Homo-oligomer: A and B are copies of this chain.
Amino acid sequence: MVTEEEIRDALRRVIDPELGRNIVELGMVRGIGLADGEVNLTLALTTLACPSKDRIISDIKSAIRALDGALIVNVKLVEMSAEERAKIVGEQQVKQYVAEPFNEINHVIAVMSGKGGVGKSSVAALLAIALRKQGERVGLLDADITGPSIPRMLGLHELPGTSPLGMLPAVSPGGVKVMSINLLLAQEDEAVIWRGPLISSAIRQFWGDVLWDRLDTLVIDLPPGTSDATLTVMQSIPLNGVLLVTSPQDLAGMVVRKAARMAQLLNIPIIGLLENMSYVQCPDCGRQIEAFGPSRAEETARALGVPLLGRIPLDPELARRCDSGEVESYPVDAFAPLAATISVLVPDVKSKPQF
């Protein structure tokens, strides 16, 4: 006959993939009832919208059935109170973050697409540069751990320094503070073959263990996809909003809509949509060639109910300066309106999202 104690012990093997600790230690197991071959268990989640919910429940059932395969396991879900949630998140932060209490960051904006190769990184870099040229104190956090582009674009290669309060960001010639995994690798083309938990922990460290100091705006360059990296940024960093980047292809639009839905599900405001690579201008005859097909940006923006902030052409000169680490010398006039738009929009999204 299985005892409640044995069940509790078995549940110590169930790890919350989000928090990396077992559900008993986290105080998520609220009550265990045993009667007539049935186990009735109450599980408190940080949020009922927890994306790992199904996995945790399935792990609980496996762990209990490993004790006695005939047991029927019923899991009742409840949601933690704000205090309980704060305590867990607080413990995580006390454990992990060194520099965060010393940072003072006014606005955090993530550049997101869902789709790869639409120019998120160049938009993020140009936005940071434009804000910097307006006199803001600006940081740029490269959350793309497996495909980081930011240091190369800004010509940064040196290992960042450290202080007793945390890692120090690298600083671009123009004065943008930068943190990226590629600053920490011996060679920029070294592969980072990490599964999700390590990716997430690197991103959390870039937020909490880097001494950003005082910033008006921190721009975060997200990787493609709606998995670990994006989820960690959205759940662990108090974003003021996301800027969506798309390309003219409707296929890209479809994936960008997935990203937008993710932001909506997690209550992160969408600042607007920006279409990149809209056309290529022929240097000989001036013809505007729609290399990725006709634009669908207005359609996509309307479907998402967000403003279309602009359409940027595909410019070989931008590609060249990104490759050679001179993106700061790219004439950002074309982007100043964008930077202005963002500055106007930011106060509207100042209210931090609810967790």
Which A residues contact B (CB, under 8 angstroms)? Answer: 12-13, 15, 17-18, 22, 51-52, 55, 114-118, 145-147, 149, 152-153, 188-200, 223-228, 231, 247-252, 254-255, 257-259, 261-262, 265, 280, 282-285, 287, 289-293, 314, 316, 319-320, 322-323
Q: What's the least CB distance linking A131 to chain B, in Å?
A: 22
In the complex, how many angstroms separate the beta carbon of A311 from the nearest chain B beta carbon? 16
Chain B residue nearest to A287 (CB atoms) is B284
**Complex alpha-carbon distance, A55 and B257, angstroms:** 34
On whether the beta carbons of B250 and A323 are closer than 8 Å, the reply is yes
Determine the chain B residues whose CB is within 8 A of the CB of A149 once the complex forms.
251, 254-255
Tally of this chain's copies? 2
Looking at the complex, which one of B55, B189, B197, B282 makes contact with A17 (CB distance below 8 Å)? B197
Given contacts A114-B147, A289-B289, contact A193 B231 (CB under 8 A): yes
Contact check, B287 vs A316: say whether CB atoms are below 8 A apart.
no
Q: A199: which of B116, B227, B292 is its contact (CB, 8 Å)?
A: B227
Q: Which of chain B's residues have a CB closer than 8 A to the CB of A291?
A: 280, 291, 314, 316, 319
Complex: A231 Cα to B192 Cα, angstroms: 11
Interchain CB contact under 8 A, A226 and B192: yes
User: For A116, A190, A199, which residue has the most chain B Cβ atoms within 10 angstroms?
Assistant: A116
**Residue of chain B at shortest CB distance from A200:** B195
Closest Cβ–Cβ distance, residue A9 to chain B (whole Å): 8
